[in-house]
Amino acid sequence: MTDDRIGVGFVGCGGISRLYTDIYAGLADVARVVAMADLDSGLAERRRDLQVDAYRATAQRARVLAGEARYGETRVAQQRRAELADSAASTTIRTYGDHEELLGDDEVQVMVLLTPPSVRAEPTIAAAEAGRHVFTQGPMARSVADAEAMAEAVRRAGVRFHSQCGSRYPRGVVLAHRAVESGLLGDVGSARVELNWYRPQSYYRGWHGTWEGEGGGAAFHHGRYVIDPFLWVLGSRAVEVFAYSTPALRDVEHESLTQAAVRYANGATGTIHASLLNHRQQLTPQNRFEVLGRLASVLVNEEYVNIADSPGANYWQADTTFGSNDDPAALSELASLVDEVSEVPERASEEYQSRLFLEGIANDVAPRVPIDVPMQHVELVRAMYKSAHERAPVTLPLDKNDPFYTFEGRLTD
């Protein structure tokens, strides 16, 4: 019998691949891992073995749940889940030395790129040219030049691309996007963004804290979790920025704090506060953004919930509220949008965004968030770094000859 599940190959079998081992163990109904690649053959072989173990553990758990099920429908669903996980565990997972070797495997339909941020463009372009779909860890690319080259290759090949950013997908963020898109807020005048995270000095080991490893800090590698979904919600790209960006209170190469004033194409202005210095406060969410319109406003407070014993089940949740001082009708109409997003989960797990990507391929459904959004995040951050370096406002888009368009531009203090 032909197995019509999507064949997946991992490229990069280091630390973050543990998360995707758990994720794909839960996706055996739509995909199966068929290949692993890493420059370290030992890492690839270990990840292969752990993936098989994860499939078997999922199958065993499903059998236990089937045996305890009170209803026939639940029992049948769990039995089927066990069968699919067992089948995936019996798949021969090949190991390769790099992405080029892996892309020569005819069973690989999707490349899951789990390398550090400095290694994005070359494997993505090669995969697209080979007709493979690409799911990559975020950020999308470390430079605007790389992001644009990746997007061009993806569009030319007609393949699907997803840059990981789970904070785009909980119901509250989708609701905020629908609210701005509907026009019910009226003309937008202002928008503010906050990343309120804490990373101690001890976090910065290995490639963390370096330009070559992370590509950037508070606004880039971490800031994507609020700037990216915010840009999708706002639906308007940045056209000018003035920023301060500094490695405040940390011994790192890139910044631990970026603060910026931004002007957008729709005429709105706003601020971005991206910090890895925020001590935890009960009333301060990890992520927050607000869009102020003529008729009403939308405020999104977002938190990441870490489930230690089940990494694939970690999730984002967003509390989204509307406000209006003098237009009750606008509030009523905005409240009605809740019904339009009822099918979106309130909590979006890491597994959920991978499932959206895979099911989009299987069902030929366009991605919910277009490739332009992670590209805009890359360009906005690089413009912030340029502004901080030159101590002057910067207009976007960046010129192709600008060192901050490539990865040459750096903060120097």
Q: What is the CATH number of the domain that holds 188?
A: 3.30.360.10
| Separation CA 119–CA 127 (nearest Å) | 13
Q: Are residues 111 and 16 in the same domain?
A: yes
Amino acid 71: pLDDT: 87
Residue showing tokens 């606004």: 219
Decide: pTM greater than 0.85.
yes
In-domain check, residue 109:
yes
Amino acid 10: pLDDT: 98
| C-alpha separations of 171 from 79, 131, 156, 307, 403 in Å | 30, 32, 32, 20, 38
Largest CA distance in the chain: 66
In-domain check, residue 322:
yes
In-domain check, residue 405:
no
In-domain check, residue 1:
no
Q: Residue 251 belongs to what domain range? A: 167-349+371-395
Amino acid 293: pLDDT: 97
Contact between 355 and 20 under an 8 Å Cβ cutoff? The reply is no
Structure token digits, residue 353:
């965004």
Burial 365-397 (b: 16+ CB within 10 A, else e): eeebbebebbbbbbbbbbbbbbbbbeeeebebe
Q: Are residues 178 and 155 in the same domain?
A: no
Amino acid 226: pLDDT: 98
Contact between 142 and 41 under an 8 Å Cβ cutoff? The reply is no
Amino acid 118: pLDDT: 85
Amino acid 321: pLDDT: 97
Structure token digits, residue 212:
């070559």
The answer to whether the peptide bond before residue 139 is cis (omega within 30 degrees of 0) is yes
What are the E-state strand segments in 128-282? 133-136, 161-163, 188-196, 238-246, 257-264, 269-275
Regions of the chain with pLDDT less than 70: 1, 308-312, 413
Amino acid 357: pLDDT: 97
State how many domains the chain has.
2
